[in-house]
Structure 1
Amino acid sequence: MSSPVPYKSFVQIDRQSGTAIYLQIAHQLINAIQRGFLVTGTKLPGTRSFSELLEVNRNTIVAVFEELDTQGWIETRPNKGTFIIGKIDARPQKIRIEQENQLAHYPKETGFSFKKSSLLDNPFEHSSCEYVFNDGTPDIRLTQVDHLSSLYSGHLKRKSNRSKLGYYNHDGSEFFKKHLSNYLNQTRGLHISKDNILITRSTEMSVYITSEILLSPGDTVLVGDLSYFSVNMIFQKSGAQIMSVPIDEEGIDVEAIRSICEKHTIRMLYITPHHHYPTTVTLAAQRRIELLNLAAEFGFIILEDDYDYDFHYDNAPVLPLASADKSGMVVYIGAFGKSLVPGFRTGFIIAPENLMTEMRKYLGIIDRQGDVMMEQVLGEMIETGEIHRYLKKSLKIYRERRDHIVDLLQRELQEFIDFRKPAGGLAVWTRWKEPLNLLQLSRACSRNNLFIPKTLLYQHKNLTAMRLGFGHFTLDEAEASIQILRQGVLQQL
């Protein structure tokens, strides 16, 4: 006689699984009890009939019953059988046909309410197009992945490093911090020690930690009239009010900042002075001095992001504001290893030691383990000069790609756009002479196998502009992409 309970609808055996079959069955029966599919008082089939029903060995069912009995889900009554036990529900329960298959799936929604944030919605898009413009990312094809992998595996194999695998280090590798501080002092003109460094996973993580400590709801943060959207999202999530400041060919308008400070209390200024995002302009040297003086005078924090600092082609880079900060008003953040594959990159925060003490507390909560082995590898790459060789090699290629994309834009789109040859970075900022619809242009290009994400499009009544990354394109890929872009423009005119 078949069982009235449709056990096979919710007991599903995976014979390829590494979990023992008796445990698979036991766990699914417990799941059924917890969800009310098997109610208190239900009599289970005998071991022989149950094994035939589920098509398993009888000893397997004996093991299932032993497991259920050990966990307190069943009891065996002499001469009566084996029954589900637990709190008896006064209301009669039946297994409804429409519920039978629910046990094979995890719930799609929670049974409780929670806060939702449209502010943090992912703005990034993806496409299967052969060609894709981005906002200026390195080409991972240029990195020697095999060599990097051998460095990492070599560190794992060293007996002296194995003990570090179990070491919870929320303050970063001392070895890496020591060499990173030396590297930043040499390349950025800083005067720091390892005690001024916090190692993070990314620039965004650095901004988040900084915002959590330094910003309160209602604080005012100044950003460029065009600024990095992810950072703006973090500031807004912390409850800060954002005010924008004009950007011109010499960077952020310092006189406009003074005017704002005379009327409002400003807590922080976020700035990418080396290559302003997205326009790529460099903050003039005189404005840097004026900005430091303003911060000391009005007491606002300068959050300086060294975005694309490593990628400069024509002259020596202008030193960061942090290198001339005498009053402790600058918090310097950035990413190390952008010339490497993404998995070998890391973020950092540079600040006076009293702020570092508080930041380490936050990092200890959100990223206590860190990546000690990766930090050891990166520290060794600095110590041996490997990182300089990687950067020197990649800069030569990126300079060639910059020159090529500039020539292409000049040749194919000169009558439609204005742009300046960037002194560094991996993107070109283009302003369009005619206010054509950039979203329609993007769709037209997509139909011809070129994807232009909406995060690269800047358009309002006074501006029609686009940020075009070139670092990830070979010379041929860049040429094909610009040709498709030109076709899209001609279709709109």
Structure 2
Amino acid sequence: MVQVLSTLLQVEKKSKQPVYLQIANQLMALIRSGTLQTGYRLLSTRQLATLLKVHRRTIVQAYDELLAQGWLQSHTGNGTFVAKNLPEIQLSKKEIGNEKVIAPAEKAGFRFTQQPHLDRAFLRSSTRLHLDDGFPDPRLAPLEDLSRAYRSQLLSGNPYSRLGYGDTKGSLWLRQELSAYLNETRGMKTSPENILIVRGVIMGLYLVSTALLQPGDHVVVDAPGWFGANMNFIQAGANLVRVPVDEHGIDVAALEQICRKQTIRMVYVTSHHHYPTTVALRADRRLNLLKLAEQYGFIIFEDDYDCDFHYLSKPFMPLAGADPAGMVMYCGSFTKTISPAFRVGYLVGPVDVITYLAKLRRIIDRQGDQMLENAIAELLHTGVIQRHLRKSVRIYKQRRDLFCDLLRSQLGDYVKFQVPDGGMAVWTEFDPNINLISLAEKALQKDLYMSNGTSGIPAGNSFAEPPNSSIRLGFASSNAEELEESVEIIRNLLGNL
């Protein structure tokens, strides 16, 4: 056994982990694997210190650690032994025939079912150029103001209350500032109690789906639509009912026909700038949708992910602002306002529902980042975010106009599109003969990211919509030179097909 220990116990004196812990952890692993059986008498501290060429005090510390945890037992004058109350462990088997060596860090020893609707690639572009899904430009974000506000929250006030647990609904200050902001800019009639601070729209969707949907419920989604929302409804056990979208938004007349035939629990809409097509829901359809919700008793989940970025005129008022019966759950975030890295959003609804959802939020995420929430509240209070939005809208409109001119002049033979009234992307229809997957792969080789038309959903996933020839090309996160270079790369690639 001395020879075995000399090969199995290795000491790395340059490691950040103390040597005594290295030895203790390795001895623990040998006991777990069955190499050192219960009742086995260990070498004396002096013998093991000599063997490993370390100070005897180091071995004493290692043994003391294992004694304290119950792995070893010491008998005065008789030595140190592997504890007898441990279950007897058989030596692990190596690969025999078709039997594989178990790798517990890589593969679980228990069974579980992987749900196919969760198979969706993460958007993690590291390219220099990007025509993304419609993201903001973080170079424009008021980061210095946010940094100062965050620092102020860390250092000022009562540290016990400031750095302790807070309201599950989120920072009261942020909810107060948001209530005033939404009432002023969205025509809503809210109080802080109508608002639940969440990590983003996706968290708002999860809370509403988990709390308000039952397995077998029917949820209306738009087609084409956002698979991120659909994933939440499927996860809750709901059945998706797809309703087409045209140039005026979701087909409310088709929805009414569906409501006459079956019970609808929820309708998911992006009423302001429909995702992915960017079209706005026309006024008459908005009114009819609210009437249908009241008549048939379904919830409207209104995802208003980029309301502030409208270029033609003032933004449409949300459905939530004209809701006479409390049927709308309204959700937005600061993802498009500042940057996706700052996970602060808001879910707005009747007080009784918000209070209930706050109870659910508590068991999955006790509270959000109160420091960040208060920092954003300060930026709203001082008008920093409002000024940033005015500046961003002006810049993004210039980028939209330039990008659409480039698409028209450089790619006019290959694409069709409508200039969007708002948002951060152009819904672009390519010639059906163009293989978008191949085009995106070749663009990536040129350090340009663009969608390949599959929304990151693996082929064969039965929950995914079939790929088509239209994709979102985001313009907001790129400056003029980057947009020109990106379009030139696509033009050259298409010219070589």
> In 2, are the aligned partners of 1:300 and 1:329 still within 8 Å (CA)?
yes
Q: Aligned in 2, Cα 1:35/1:268: closer, same or farther, shift over 3 Å?
A: same
Structure 2 gaps of 5+ residues are 96-102, 457-463
Task: Report the residue type matching 2:8 in the other structure.
Answer: S
Distance in 1 (CA, whole Å) between partners of 2:387 and 2:417 is: 31
Q: Deviations over 1:81-112 (max 9, x none)?
A: 43222247778x568899xxxxxx97322221
The equivalences for 1:220-259 within 5 A come to: 220-259=218-257
Cα offset for 1:78?
A: 6.2
Aligned to 2:410: 412
Distance in 2 (CA, whole Å) between partners of 1:216 and 1:271 is: 20
Aligned to 1:110: 108
The equivalences for 1:125-204 within 5 A come to: 125-126=123-124, 128-160=126-158, 163-204=161-202
Task: Report the residue type matching 1:245 in the other structure.
Answer: V
**SS of residue paired to 1:191:** coil
**SS of residue paired to 1:60:** helix
Aligned to 1:69: 67
Aligned to 2:381: 383
User: Are residue 431 (structure 1) and residue 429 (structure 2) matched?
Assistant: yes
> In 2, are the aligned partners of 1:219 and 1:266 still within 8 Å (CA)?
yes
Partner residue of 1:472 out of 470, 477, 494: 477
Q: Aligned in 2, Cα 1:307/1:85: closer, same or farther, shift over 3 Å?
A: closer
Task: Report the residue type matching 1:438 in the other structure.
Answer: L
Cα offset for 1:115?
A: 2.8
Distance in 2 (CA, whole Å) between partners of 1:69 and 1:416 is: 74
**Higher mean displacement: 138-147 or 473-482:** 138-147
Distance in 2 (CA, whole Å) between partners of 1:462 and 1:120 is: 18
Task: Report the residue type matching 2:452 in the other structure.
Answer: K
Aligned to 2:2: 3
**SS of residue paired to 1:41:** coil
Cα offset for 1:14?
A: 5.1
Q: Deviations over 1:358-386 (max 9, x none)?
A: 11111111111321111111111111111
Cα offset for 1:46?
A: 2.0
Q: TM-score, normalised by structure 2?
A: 0.90
Distance in 2 (CA, whole Å) between partners of 1:454 and 1:113 is: 34
Q: TM-score, normalised by structure 1?
A: 0.91
Distance in 2 (CA, whole Å) between partners of 1:20 and 1:457 is: 48
**SS of residue paired to 1:355:** helix
Distance in 1 (CA, whole Å) between partners of 2:264 and 2:91 is: 64
Q: Deviations over 1:319-356 (max 9, x none)?
A: 01111100111111111363213343411111111111
Cα offset for 1:118?
A: 2.3
Partner residue of 2:494 out of 452, 465, 489: 489
Distance in 2 (CA, whole Å) between partners of 1:162 and 1:313 is: 45
> In 1, are the aligned partners of 2:168 and 2:358 still within 8 Å (CA)?
yes
Task: Report the residue type matching 2:349 in the other structure.
Answer: A
Q: Deviations over 1:421-475 (max 9, x none)?
A: 1111000011234442221222232333322233566999995211100111111
**SS of residue paired to 1:344:** coil
Distance in 2 (CA, whole Å) between partners of 1:146 and 1:168 is: 26
Distance in 2 (CA, whole Å) between partners of 1:160 and 1:120 is: 43
Distance in 1 (CA, whole Å) between partners of 2:171 and 2:190 is: 16
Cα offset for 1:162?
A: 5.1
**SS of residue paired to 2:268:** strand
Q: Aligned in 2, Cα 1:320/1:50: closer, same or farther, shift over 3 Å?
A: same
Aligned to 1:101: none
> In 1, are the aligned partners of 2:134 and 2:476 still within 8 Å (CA)?
yes
Aligned to 1:371: 369
CA RMSD, 1 decimal: 2.6
Partner residue of 2:268 out of 261, 265, 270: 270
User: Are residue 47 (structure 1) and residue 45 (structure 2) matched?
Assistant: yes
Structure 1 gaps of 5+ residues are 99-104
Q: Aligned in 2, Cα 1:35/1:416: closer, same or farther, shift over 3 Å?
A: same
Distance in 1 (CA, whole Å) between partners of 2:330 and 2:77 is: 77
Q: Aligned in 2, Cα 1:391/1:456: closer, same or farther, shift over 3 Å?
A: farther
